[in-house]
Structure 1
């Protein structure tokens, strides 16, 4: 059975869970009504799986989001897999949800080789499901700095679970994520992320599988990571630990052209219905690269995330990957009014950036109208290349392959 899954580690608002709920309704009612006729709640037959860790787990107890979860779990073949250790750390109770949906809410994780429950081993079962042959590759896009954000530890656990499953692992460091590889990390009260990466690199070598950490060169340079060319085409830095390679973003995008699953702190993977056999690995042809849908959920200017999302989307499209950008939730503020900057400023006008790249091949922009309506704002009329969409169109973007694309799945990344 076709399987779609979300990996969610950040806070889940009522708004986010509501548009997810509406998209699932669209999937079952409009695209797959046969599932409504053969309703099953057996976890093994799940069509949609939510893998929840970190801050996302609070939504299972929050009185505002809990009713939405109950609606989602009433749909055919939906299940939730919780990170047991994170539930216990936070003291979160899921008793009410578990009592009503005992077979759909899973909190007993698979056992790792050390005999301890491992949520990330469960994640790896989904992350490798497309891969043929084995051993395969799994990738993780990381965008937050270590120590300030627990997501760095989650990234390490994802990579470790991949190695335990005898997969090659890739870590793509973007925006503040480049700090994971800084030399000389010495935290006194938590796990050393740099040492953790070095240990995983050594384990990969012993297992005979690949361990690759690619850091975005533009992001690294902006944060003071000096590099130089050794004269033989190799870019070297004295600021990073050995496994980390500071490279042009193109090298990361080249990995996105391949067929392996790539996840992030908040991400999803949706399989496409195919006639005949699934595409073989590796896939690097333009039309067979998995399409990328980027959801911009943050306000512009306060952080680099909105601009970084657009930059990443442009890079994907330039390399031939079909890329869609959806402004949703607080991301729609980037489209409101007319943005103005002082002359000769080094800052950027996000609307001008969107307008400049909107006509690029393989790249489309969309504005989620319900998010605009909820905030009582309107899109700048000059941004006519940004198309208005609602739930039906968002559902089409998520669950239907773009024209001319024969990939077997789509990557969704939430910025």
Structure 2
């Protein structure tokens, strides 16, 4: 049995759940119609949603519960809830669980400390369908600690990885670089910097390697000074000792490896060994690196998320990783209208950047037309590199293995 899984901690709007629903329908109807039977064959794939944080509110909101009911009518779909976060938020899931008792799971496995752990369940799925040890687990962090619980989720994920004998790796990007700042001393929350140091120490005691990398571009922008100590090491007095500020390419080097990489909102989709039609896109050169699909769901300019997502995509593609970028939800504002900056400014619009990298090997741009239509928008006609797709096209990107790629899974990252 093949398991595809999505870890979701951000708010799940009606719009987001709707395109998830349509993609799942496409996947099962087109590729595994036998799984739609009341008793699906044992070899049918399973799609698991691991819900924590604000994503759990979708299980009690009247509008989103209706969509979950449609999704759960697909018997190969299941939900695993973070029990601790359910209790914290006072969210009842009894009604949904009563209707789908085998598909809605609101209890968690026991960790080594004999306490229930949602993250042990997450790592159980990570280990499933993976080759024998040694292996690693990566966490991609783009949000700042303390303002966002995603940093704590990263710590919990990496700690659970050590319990599963996986080498922990952190990739700090955008505001995520603040996870490694020295001398953190929060009064009313978990110390993230100390948490990273403890993960480093625990891994060493278990004879596991650990690697914490921060993108130097965003670290420098935020005041992290670095210098070369003459031994090929870049040192910063602003960061804890295990935290290494490096060029983005050092992070992408890790993306070329086959381990699972998660983030606050991410997915891992396994490819079948053989026998499935390829997607409508392909890598220019044969590659064993897992493809990366980046879903840009936020508008440009108000935050650095959209620009950071495109920069990450360009870096991945430059190193031979097939990378698909899909603009959807509020992300479609990046490709609608004609964006301009004052003539005297050195800044570029996001459309300037898209046009500048158009035609790059292994880099493909798409926009979900339903998101444009919902907002009454049309795509800028000059953005020829951005292809229109509907729900079937998005389903193909998410679930079809692309041509010329010899990897076991693909990574999905939401920005």
1:109 match: 108
1:377 match: 377
Number of matched residues? 406
Say which SS state the counterpart of residue 262 (structure 2) adopts.
Answer: strand
CA spacing shift, 1:177–1:41, aligned 2, 3 Å? farther
2:240 match: 241
> What is the CA–CA distance in structure 2 between the aligned matches of 1:132 and 1:362, rounded to whole Å?
26
1:281 match: none
Say which SS state the counterpart of residue 86 (structure 2) adopts.
Answer: helix
> What is the CA–CA distance in structure 1 between the aligned matches of 2:101 and 2:35, rounded to whole Å?
20
Q: CA deviation at 1:210?
A: 1.0
Q: CA deviation at 1:68?
A: 0.3
The Cα RMSD (Å) is 1.5
Q: Is the 8 Å Cα contact of residues 295 and 414 (structure 1) preserved in structure 2?
A: yes
Q: CA deviation at 1:133?
A: 2.3
1:17 match: 17
CA spacing shift, 1:41–1:100, aligned 2, 3 Å? farther
Q: Is the 8 Å Cα contact of residues 41 and 104 (structure 1) preserved in structure 2?
A: no
> What is the CA–CA distance in structure 1 between the aligned matches of 2:117 and 2:347, rounded to whole Å?
44
> What is the CA–CA distance in structure 2 between the aligned matches of 1:235 and 1:227, rounded to whole Å?
6
Question: CA deviation digits over 1:335-389, x for unaligned, max 9?
Answer: 1110010123243210010011021000000010000000000000000110000
> TM-score if structure 1 supplies the norm length?
0.95
2:282 match: none
Question: CA deviation digits over 1:204-242, x for unaligned, max 9?
Answer: 111100111000010100100000011222111000001
> TM-score if structure 2 supplies the norm length?
0.95
Q: CA deviation at 1:130?
A: 3.9
Q: CA deviation at 1:45?
A: 7.1
Q: CA deviation at 1:151?
A: 1.0
> What is the CA–CA distance in structure 1 between the aligned matches of 2:379 and 2:163, rounded to whole Å?
48
1:403 match: 403
> What is the CA–CA distance in structure 2 between the aligned matches of 1:173 and 1:250, rounded to whole Å?
13
> What is the CA–CA distance in structure 2 between the aligned matches of 1:5 and 1:191, rounded to whole Å?
28
Matched, 1:153 2:152: yes
Q: CA deviation at 1:38?
A: 6.0
> What is the CA–CA distance in structure 1 between the aligned matches of 2:92 and 2:45, rounded to whole Å?
23
1:302 match: 302
Question: CA deviation digits over 1:153-192, x for unaligned, max 9?
Answer: 1111001100111110101000000000000101011111
> What is the CA–CA distance in structure 2 between the aligned matches of 1:152 and 1:286, rounded to whole Å?
35
Say which SS state the counterpart of residue 63 (structure 2) adopts.
Answer: coil
Q: Is the 8 Å Cα contact of residues 181 and 194 (structure 1) preserved in structure 2?
A: yes
> What is the CA–CA distance in structure 2 between the aligned matches of 1:157 and 1:290, rounded to whole Å?
24
Q: Is the 8 Å Cα contact of residues 78 and 103 (structure 2) preserved in structure 1?
A: yes
2:413 match: 413
Structure 1 segments unaligned to the other structure (5+ residues): 277-284
Alignment of 1:43-58 (within 5 A): 47-58=46-57
Say which SS state the counterpart of residue 370 (structure 2) adopts.
Answer: helix
